[in-house]
A and B are shown apart, each in its own frame.
Chain A
Amino acid sequence: MLGYAIRRLLAMIPALAAVSLLIFAVVELPPGDYLANEVQELQSQGEGAGAARVAFLRQEFSFDRPFLERYAIWAGLWPGPHGFDGLLQGEWGWSFVYAKPVADVLGDRIGLTALLNLATVLLVYLIAFPVGLMAARRPGGLVDIGAAGLSYLGLAIPSFLLALVLLSFAHAWFGLTIGGLVSPAYRDAPWSLAKAFDVAAHLVIPALVIALGSAGIMIRRLRANLLDEVNKPYVVAARARGIGEARLMTRYPLRLAFAPFVADIGNLLPSLVSGSVIVSVVLNLQTVGPVLLAALRAQDTFLAAFILLFTAVLTLAGMLVSDLILALLDPRVRLGQKARL
């Protein structure tokens, strides 16, 4: 098992390298770059002096180098004008739009984004698991039909709309401040238990809103998986050995139906990150989503590339977690299909 985990971790390295190259290429795909746009703007305003500064910046940030070299400098595999100062060295780059290092732009947002996504994934599973189970126990029953209706509703209602409605209720009933993940009182306060509690309270609504659509899909999936499993010969065989129904269900079909359910963690994360952008904008959440939107529009290369890479890392981590859980659940993954006896 440990060997499997290590192998799986090592396999992430080439995946990350490939993804980072791809991201860098995609971000640079639109013609021109941030500085070229700025030059145009300065020239239209007739400011010659600014143009000279831009030329300096162009060299400073290696925009005059070929693509692969720029990538290597960004990644920290190749020395730039100031030696090695890329991702591998912990330098996240410079944001032109905010005129600050990327690290300062993002700051707390990274942690909050990870937190929001984690909370959402947990919520998806907390909702989908019991509901899916109950729906599968009595197909066509009250829970099944109710869950189906709710999931369609969750898919059909635009999430930002739902978010606003929920938020206004929450404000009216619980006195939660609208927008943001932190109350104004704690915005600049150092981390404390009270602040953490405040953040958690603010997390519930966005997490619920983002989770709802995914949870609907997951409920349907778990239900279908379970219904597939309950009629398999091995379940009948266990029943024929006199195993009680409750134990039978949890021990056999549930464990097997759980596998594809878990395998979805990896797929869930990226869709949550992209799906949460619009909710984050509407609710003014301090996540990386709105920043990514701004960075992409302004061709802020390093900022956009870094955020995308961060999303990719989240996804890979999710896949790693789901693979490890799968290996725990299913010996065939762990041992391969090799006969031992």
Chain B
Amino acid sequence: MAALSFRDVTLDFTAGRTAARALDRVSFDVGRGRVTALVGESGSGKSSLALAAMGLLPGHARLAGSIVLDDGRSPPLDLAALDRDGASIRAIRGGRIGLVFQEPLSAFSPVHTVGSQIAEATRAHEDVSRAVARARALEILRLTGFPDPARGFDAYPFELSGGLRQRAMIAAALAARPSVLIADEPTTALDVTVQAQVLALLERLKDDLGLSILLVTHDLGVVASIADDLVVLYRGRVMERGSADDVFAKSLHPYFRALKDANPSLARRQERLAVIGGEDETAAAARYAEAPARRRSEASGGRLIDIEAVSKSFPARRGGESAAALDRVSLSIARGESVGLVGESGSGKSTLAKVLMRMVTPDAGRVLFHVRGAAQDVAGLRGADLGRYRRRVAYVFQDPYAALNPRMSVRDTLTEPFAIHGVADAYGRGVRARELIDLVGLPRAALDRYPPSFSGGQRQRIAIARALAMRPELLILDEPTSALDVSVQAQILNLLADLRRALGFAYLFISHDLGVVEHVADRVAVMRRGRIVEEAPAARLFHAARHPYTQALIAAAPEADRSRRLDLAAIAARASAGWDDGGAAELIEIEPGHRVAMPLEGQRHAAA
């Protein structure tokens, strides 16, 4: 039995006389009491489908086909035929179908309490008193796992952590007791451990409340862990649908297989990731064989950067104690080495990168930069020495949309570093710009275009090319792929691997995604609350992690593999248990190259 069935849903967005087709004869069912995952990359039309069911499409959208709601509470009802401004669709919204958004911070009004926004949904559908609505909201907050519902009720959204915010969002969607829940990328903005908890919550709610869930996502790992049924959407068309087990086991469809292989995995470490559609430029890096001899000779093994017991704390906004963003962090990067830095949001990864870039001055500790056998203290660099340092250490930002000036052509973007550092004449700069664009696998014609005409992946290539302009020895990559689709991410990761092989520089690769880090890094450091808790060779860390936090991260990382589903119950239990590393900042070396911060008890344990 289907709670919600989409039949030949076709959606056009009209602009003047032209129309763009967003969905093309999409048909599938959301089974009662089941989790149906709708998978696709950005632009595949999956969010439009969710909005269509709620009658929330903008005015210039033309919808055809039927979306039948049959949850047993009323005779089957075609939602697509309802007036988008009418009372009957309003009764559906929230009352029969709840909608959970990707970014809970922006999906809550910042000036109203969480509770008032939840209770409001109840009162919109049922004629109940304020007190009853409040009691219901408290009940639903408890159900969604708020430790203290009354406090959560009176909190403003910005006072809650990301995980609690998403729980509150789910509570608001469920406040008027709908039978269907549509969750649009509900965990994309969350850290892996929190994501696992929210997934566990959805699974529990499905059973407790008898919900039918439509889960819109791009993440096959999430799908593998929680979905019963699966629909794959590509450019507005259904590529594949069926039970999740069947699709994962015997899918023959090239798109689904490609999507699966593009996912970096902890289980199977591979040299190259599969890419979808776009070109794969193994050749591009090979073309760049003329790397200077100096770099080559220095490229092997020598010391490059030593971070020594660096601490940094930021004063709290008002009252309260200052928060330590970095607490006696030590980390070394050798020439040509790729070091991964993993941690959840707020763990201090980006602060560490900023210390390396000299954008943040540490309170204590120092950063040593080794050049021609001499060690320089980065904090003491002035004038020409500082300029040299900045040429040797380059930075790639997370968001390629914000990192490039939209009013500068790609050529100007790529040659700007030469102008800043006063290197090369106009002719030499032109030659270098062409080299760089070749290197990142973009056509030379791209030089005369402007960033807005490129896709996210292409922009990230431009940003990488700019970072490479000064032939750096260390490239700091701060979440370079987390704003990109999986298939584009695969292309960028392959490109980075090729570039390193050809040019031999070192990476500091910062990410919250363990799969990505394992793919690119030789050595991985795990950060938590401003401290490095574990550091080991990549191959070793993912199989022999010792610190409970690392273990939790690995356990919570979803795999695009039905046989390796997340143990959601165990994760939920672990989250409520918590752990304490007793303030141990000293890392104990337990194996060559494998160091762990252990609570004092653990150390005694290990010694015994």
Closest-CB distance, A285 to chain B (whole angstroms): 40
Among A234, A236, A242, A251, point to the contact of B121 (Cβ < 8 A).
Answer: A242
Interface residues of A in 228-286 (CB under 8 A from B): 232-234, 236-245, 251-252, 255-256
* Residues of A close to B110: CB separation below 8 A: 234, 256, 330-332
Which chain B positions have C-beta within 8 A of A337? 158, 317
B175 with A241: CB separation less than 8 A: yes
A338: CB under 8 A from chain B? yes
Chain A residues, Cβ within 8 Å of B316: 338
Residue A335 interfacial (CB < 8 Å): yes
Q: Quick check: is A13 within 8 A (CB to CB) of the other chain?
A: no
Q: Is the CB–CB distance between A252 and B109 below 8 Å?
A: yes
Which of A234, A240, A339 sits near B106, CB closer than 8 Å?
A234
Say yes or no: is A340 at the interface (Cβ < 8 Å to chain B): yes
In the complex, whether A6 has a CB less than 8 A from a CB of chain B is no
Q: Does A341 belong to the interface (CB within 8 Å)?
A: yes
Asked if A329 is an interface residue, CB under 8 A from chain B, the answer is yes
**Inside 8 A of A338's CB, which chain B residues have their CB?**
159, 316-318, 320
Q: Is A30 an interface position by the 8 A CB rule?
A: no
Cβ B95 vs Cβ A242 within 8 A: yes
B175 → chain A, closest Cβ, in Å?
A: 7
Collect the chain B residues with CB atoms within 8 Å of residue A340's CB: 151, 155, 159
Question: B536 an interface residue at 8 Å Cβ cutoff?
Answer: no
Chain B interface size band reads: 35 or more
Chain B nearest Cβ from A58, distance in angstroms? 52
Q: In the complex, which residues of chain B have a beta carbon less than 8 angstroms from the beta carbon of A256? A: 109-111
The answer to whether A241 and B318 touch (CB under 8 A), given A234-B108, A331-B156, A341-B152, is: no
In the complex the two chains form, is A335's CB within 8 Å of B90's CB?
no
Task: Tell me the minimal C-beta distance from B300 to chain A in angstroms.
Answer: 46
Closest chain-B Cβ to A29's Cβ sits at a distance in Å of 40
* Given A242-B176, A331-B111: A336 and B318 interface contact (C-beta under 8 Å): yes
A233 to B169, CA, bound (A): 12
Please give the distance in Å from B148's CB to the nearest CB on chain A.
8
Q: Which residues of B contact A244 (CB under 8 A)?
A: 90, 124
Known: A237-B99, A337-B158, A341-B155. A242 touches B124 (CB 8 A): yes
Smallest CB separation, B179 vs chain A (Å): 14
Tell me if B205 counts as interface (CB < 8 A to partner A).
no
B8 at the interface (CB under 8 A from A): no
- Distance of A253 from chain B, by nearest CB (Å): 9
Q: Which residues of A contact B169 (CB under 8 A)?
A: 237
**Which residue of A232, A240, A329, A339 contacts B99 across the interface (Cβ within 8 Å)?**
A240
Chain B interfacial positions (CB closer than 8 Å to A) = 54, 56, 85, 90-95, 98-99, 101, 103, 106-113, 117, 120-121, 124-125, 148, 151-152, 155-156, 158-161, 164, 169, 172-173, 175-176, 316-318, 320
List 7 additional contacts besides A236-B107, A240-B98; criterion CB under 8 Å.
Answer: A239-B56, A241-B173, A242-B92, A256-B109, A338-B320, A340-B151, A341-B152
A interface residues (Cβ-Cβ under 8 A, vs B): 232-234, 236-245, 251-252, 255-256, 329-332, 335-341
